[in-house]
Amino acid sequence: MRIWYLPFDELDNQRVLGQHAEVHAIYRLVFNRGTSWKEWAEPKHRRDFFWIHNRIVAEMAERGSETLMGINAVERKREYERAHATWPEQEFTEQWLDSTGIQRPVKVSDEVIEAERWQLVNRWGGNFRGRVWKPEYEALLDRYHENGGCTHKLESGTEWLEDYGLRDDGAHKYLCLLCKRFIKIVDEPLEYWVEKERANEVRLIKP
């Protein structure tokens, strides 16, 4: 689970829907179970958390009204927001305030925003799929294509991998978390990258 820090109009449709579902999942963890989840579990960030939900609902409404025209689209968007958004001051006052009553926004650096945009470019396969184009993507898209696609490495040079289990021949599979489109196959002494959909099919002959 995650909360994207960049503007939601930069996400693709699938990730907009995913973000809404994950905000609800995080809410259940933090408020219903009392589980600590990153900075969002801190009482001083509760108001900011609920506004995250408002923003993603507004983005869903924006995309849902794109196929409509004129005043009908505007009213449909407002109806959706009224039905699904949460309003901290009215609905969650006692839940998000602690004894101090202090609320602070979560601070996000420019480096974090750039890193998230780079993740999106890699996960989109070098094509912009957000709703609103931002000029910052031009250099990132150029960089992606100059690299010949995802390098499967972070800025530090390390691979960002998740264990994806074993193949039926015993080879280990690791998902690249930068692009989430390729699997690293480790079949000693061989190591090679394969598209995720073909990870169980492509097999190299060992020397």
Q: What is the pLDDT along the chain (207 residues), one digit of tens a residue?
A: 899 999 999 999 999 999 999 988 988 888 778 788 888 878 888 888 888 888 898 898 888 755 444 556 666 666 766 666 665 555 555 555 666 768 888 999 999 999 999 999 999 999 999 999 999 999 999 999 999 999 999 989 999 999 999 999 999 999 999 999 999 999 999 999 999 999 999 999 888
The per-residue pLDDT for 69 is 47
* 114 Cβ neighbours under 8 A, 6+ residues apart: 136
The per-residue pLDDT for 22 is 92
The per-residue pLDDT for 131 is 95
Q: Strand (E) positions, the chain?
A: 161-166, 172-176, 182-187, 190-195
Contact call for residues 55 and 6 (beta carbons, < 8 A):
no
The per-residue pLDDT for 90 is 52
Closest CA to 15 of 139, 121, 109: 121
* 130 Cβ neighbours under 8 A, 6+ residues apart: 9, 10, 11, 12, 120
Q: What is the 3-state secondary structure (H, E, C) of 88-122?
A: HHHHCHHHHCCCCCCCCCCCCCHHHHHHHHHHHHH
The per-residue pLDDT for 38 is 86
Q: Which residue has the tokens 């995720």?
A: 196
Q: Which strand (E) or helix (H) includes residue 151?
A: none
